[in-house]
Amino acid sequence: MSFAPQSILVTGGAGFIGSNFIHSFLAGNPGSQVTNLDVLTYAGNLNNLRTLENNPAYSFVRGDIGDATLVAQLLTERKVDAVVHFAAESHVDRSISGPEIFVRTNVLGTQVLLEESRKHWQSGVVNDFRFLQISTDEVYGSLGESGFFTEETPLAPNSPYSASKAGADMLVRAYHETYGMPTLNTRCSNNYGPFHFPEKLIPLLIHNIINRKPLPVYGDGKNVRDWLHVNDHAAAVEVVLKTAAPGSIYNIGGNNEWFNIDIVNLVCDLLDERLGRSSGENRTLITFVKDRPGHDRRYAIDASRLKRDLGWEPAYTFERGIAETIEWYLSHQEWVAEVTSGSYREYYTQQYGGAA
């Protein structure tokens, strides 16, 4: 089965993974149109897409996925034949201190997007249609020392963030089962790479090391995450969109498990060398801090279904990916300063309207 979308609505395309996806999709699919619908929260930054500003295949609309009128208008006017839904509140720590917005965006926002997509698909404005829900391995909860998450692992989310993503996944499932809507669902492990907001572990480490700030390690540092380069995630999303059977779910992961403390030590050592600091100097910045409440111990993805059915495999080794990511942050310190100061938000409000 092969599906060739002509007009894609990407939600949350100004965020980390969405912006990387838009770059790679447009580069590989000349002739397709991409509309980026993003409300520009603290995590959205149009500088991630600056090189596309004059590309006629790309357009940006500032708006909320929960705005049914706007979503319906975009779907109809642009004859959208695929929705690739990245928009979300995505940071676990923020979901612990303020869960409400996570339910509003991730659950209710997804429901609005699904409902307007259902009406659009049933109206027959386009011949074929897909709704791709971008989800996370966190919906499966936490693993012990062995084993992997498969697509059959029961959902057991532990944080308000993962609970809201699991809720959205269940709605996607229900729209397929109830209405026969051609939905797809991917669940990926931890991403790293360019344009990653520096509240997440890897960009936070790089940024703090450059600036000789403390490196907070939660708990004993022995939690395990399974890291995948964002370009590999983007490639997997494209393969699923074009070739997966409607109703299917695919795990995405790179079989690349690390204890947090080992990642911290690695980034310290690579930056000792890169910044000409003495061996072990950056490790002195490591500071063990109070653990995250409900902190999932281990994630590990079994992505064999994706490899077997659709032929996807990661292209990046971790050695290459982490080295390139460090170089990217070293050469984009202005980007980091900008996204952490929030000064760009007023400018966007003048350009595109909406709340600052």
* Residues identified as active-site: 137-138, 161
Q: Which of 190, 248, 251, 265 binds ligand DAU (CB under 6 A)?
A: 190
Q: Which of 80, 83, 88, 171 binds ligand NAD (CB under 6 A)?
A: 88
If binding means CB under 6 A, how many residues of this protein chain bind ligand NAD? 30
With vertex at residue 94, the alpha carbon angle to CA 91 and CA 100, rounded to the nearest 5 degrees, is: 110
State which residue, 130 or 225, has the beta carbon closest to ligand DAU: 225
Q: Exposed, middle or buried, 104 (CB in 10 Å: 0-12/13-18/19+)?
A: middle
- Would you call 197 helix, strand, or coil by DSSP? coil
Q: Which of 22, 39, 172, 201 binds ligand NAD (CB under 6 A)?
A: 39
Determine, following the binding rule CB under 6 A, whether residue 81 of this chain makes contact with ligand DAU.
no
Phi, psi of 225 (to 5 degrees): -125, 155
In the numeric block, the tokens 């971008």 are attached to: 134
- How far apart are alpha carbons 251 and 70 in whole angstroms? 31
Determine, following the binding rule CB under 6 A, whether residue 296 of this chain makes contact with ligand NAD.
no
State which residue, 101 or 285, has the beta carbon closest to ligand NAD: 101
State which residue, 7 or 19, has the beta carbon closest to ligand DAU: 19
Residue 234 belongs to what H/E stretch?
Answer: helix 230-243
Stretch that binds ligand DAU, among 33-41, 115-123, 134-142, 337-345 (CB under 6 A): 134-142
- How far apart are alpha carbons 300 and 253 in whole angstroms? 8
If binding means CB under 6 A, how many residues of this protein chain bind ligand DAU? 19
Farthest CA pair distance, the chain: 65
- How far apart are alpha carbons 280 and 36 in whole angstroms? 43
State which residue, 282 or 325, has the beta carbon closest to ligand NAD: 325
- Binding residues vs ligand DAU (CB under 6 A): 90-92, 136-138, 189-190, 200-201, 204, 216-218, 223, 225, 260, 292, 299
